[in-house]
Structure 1
Amino acid sequence: MREYISNFLKYRELFFELIKKDIKLKYRNSILGIFWSFLNPLLMMVVLTLIFSNLFDRHIENFPVYVLSGRLLYQFFSESTTFAMDSIGANGQLIRKVYVPKYLFPISRICSSFITTLISMLPLILVMIVTGMSFHATSLLAVYPLICLLLASVGIGLLLSTLHVFFKDMKHLYSVLLTIIMYTTPIFYPASIIPEKYRMLIELNPLFHIVTMFRSLLMDGMLPSLGLAIGTLSYALVLFLLGLLVFYKYQDKFIFYL
């Protein structure tokens, strides 16, 4: 761990440049540029609200905010981990020529997605104001589940980037897994409709409790139980450490497969 921290401090300027490059590339040749970070979640909210509001509106208060908050967190997780997965291969030429801490590539992509997601939170606040939703003191604590989500995404991103170097079909398998994660995350439906016999299995989804906690803090003004808060952070840390250990173990072999 000390080596990681030392290398990060040494190459921190490169890390920040990678983040800026990823953000610029994301919106390259786009007329609206970074404004898509505002428009995309709003458009998805409108579509999902029109489709599912008749089914679940009676069970969910302020359905547009409910959908948008869940969609934003899922979108960050999906985008960041997918970008991280291909980060080593995309920078193969640089890795072959000079020494650079390899973990900078997947983590920088996740951080760039996190920044654009934070920008996308502005439309969420706007929708809350327009729909007349009250803001609570606990809304400021919504940063806690976001930190848990960032840790989990970094861990999974590191794990995926390692697997993708040796197993190129990983991107196809992961697209299927992301679909499963999307439908097992209560984005547009209430978690209460999940049958109890399946709940333990569905709660293995790293987004399940994070999304629930985020909404409780932001929308309901309710603090999560201590067990939920510690359990969610512990799960995120386990994923983070697992990704870090797997990446560290196999990173020296990347050069033979790039």
Structure 2
Amino acid sequence: MIKYIKNFWRYKGLLKEFVVRDLKVKYRRSFLGYLWSLLNPLLMMIVLTSVFSNMFKFDIPNFPVYLLTGQVIFNFFSESTSMSMNSILNSGSLLKKVYIPKYIFPLSRIMSSFVNLLFSLAAMIVVIIVTGVRVKPVILLFPLPLIYIFLFSVGIGLIVSVLAVYFRDTIHLYSVLLAAWTYLTPIFYPINAVPDYVKSIIYSNPMYYFVQVFRDIVLYHQLPNLQVNLICIAFAVASLIVGLFVFYKNQNKFVLNI
């Protein structure tokens, strides 16, 4: 473990350069540039709020903030894991030329998505101010669910990056899975609006708990109970351990399959 930590520290500069590169590439030739990280969640919130609050009449107090707190968490997970899935395949030519710790590639994608998540929090602050939602000291604990979802995304990102190397169909199947996963996470609807058999599926969904913790802190001004925190920790740690194990077992065979 000490060996891997030293190796990670040795390549921390390269990891930083990859993260900066990903951010520059994403907003290259864009007039508004990084401002899109603020505008995109705001525009999506306006559209979804108009649809779901008026057409479906969900009785959710402070619906714009309710929607945005779920949206920023799930969007980070979706973007980070989708980008990390292609990271090894897109870096094949570099991997064949020089030695670079292979986990750097998916990790840099996830970290660049995390930077976008931090920008999106500015949009959430704007919505909180505009809608008049009260702010209490408990909101200072908002980094806690961000740590949970980051660790969970790293684990899933490592797994899908390996799967994409050996099974290219994973790239297409994962987009379908993410679509289903979105609807099974209470982002734009209350959980009491679904039948009981759907609730049982939602309760087994890790994203439900990450979103719930974030909402409890930011919107409902309450500390998440110990049980929910333990569930989040269990999902995050399990994902990270499995992801590291799968990646470590397969990384030396990547160059033969890309």
Q: TM-score band, normalised by the shorter chain?
A: over 0.9
The CA deviation at 1:211 is 0.4
For structure 1, the 5+ residue unaligned runs are none
Correspondence 1:1-258 to 2 at 5 A: 1-55=1-55, 59-258=59-258
SS at match of 2:223: coil
Distance 1:140 1:193 in 2: 30
Distance 1:57 1:217 in 2: 25
> How does the TM-score come out when normalised to structure 2?
0.97
Distance 1:173 1:223 in 2: 37
> How does the TM-score come out when normalised to structure 1?
0.97
Distance 2:151 2:251 in 1: 20
Larger mean Cα displacement after TM superposition, 125-134 or 201-210: 201-210
Distance 2:243 2:137 in 1: 34
Alignment check: 8 A CA contact 2:76 2:114 kept: yes
After TM superposition, where is structure 1 displaced by more than 4 Å over at least 4 residues in a row?
55-58
- Equivalences, count: 258
Alignment check: 8 A CA contact 2:45 2:68 kept: yes
CA offset digits 1:111-167 (Å, max 9, x no partner): 000011101100101110111100011111121111100000000000000000111
Distance 1:58 1:26 in 2: 35
Distance 1:43 1:112 in 2: 21
Alignment check: 8 A CA contact 1:162 1:247 kept: yes
Matching residue's letter, 2:187: I
Alignment check: 8 A CA contact 2:158 2:247 kept: yes
Q: CA RMSD in A?
A: 1.2
The CA deviation at 1:196 is 2.8
Identity %: 48
Alignment check: 8 A CA contact 1:185 1:205 kept: yes
Distance 1:29 1:142 in 2: 33
Distance 1:143 1:55 in 2: 34
SS at match of 1:39: helix
SS at match of 1:46: helix
SS at match of 1:140: helix
SS at match of 2:142: helix
Alignment check: 8 A CA contact 2:152 2:237 kept: yes
SS at match of 2:224: coil
The CA deviation at 1:56 is 5.5
CA offset digits 1:45-77 (Å, max 9, x no partner): 000001000256552111111111111111111
For structure 2, the 5+ residue unaligned runs are none
Distance 1:212 1:102 in 2: 33
CA offset digits 1:188-243 (Å, max 9, x no partner): 10122233333232223221111011011101111111011111111111011111
SS at match of 1:97: coil
Alignment check: 8 A CA contact 1:56 1:189 kept: no
SS at match of 1:110: helix
Distance 1:203 1:111 in 2: 28
Distance 1:4 1:130 in 2: 46
Alignment check: 8 A CA contact 1:57 1:63 kept: no
SS at match of 2:219: helix
Larger mean Cα displacement after TM superposition, 243-252 or 187-196: 187-196
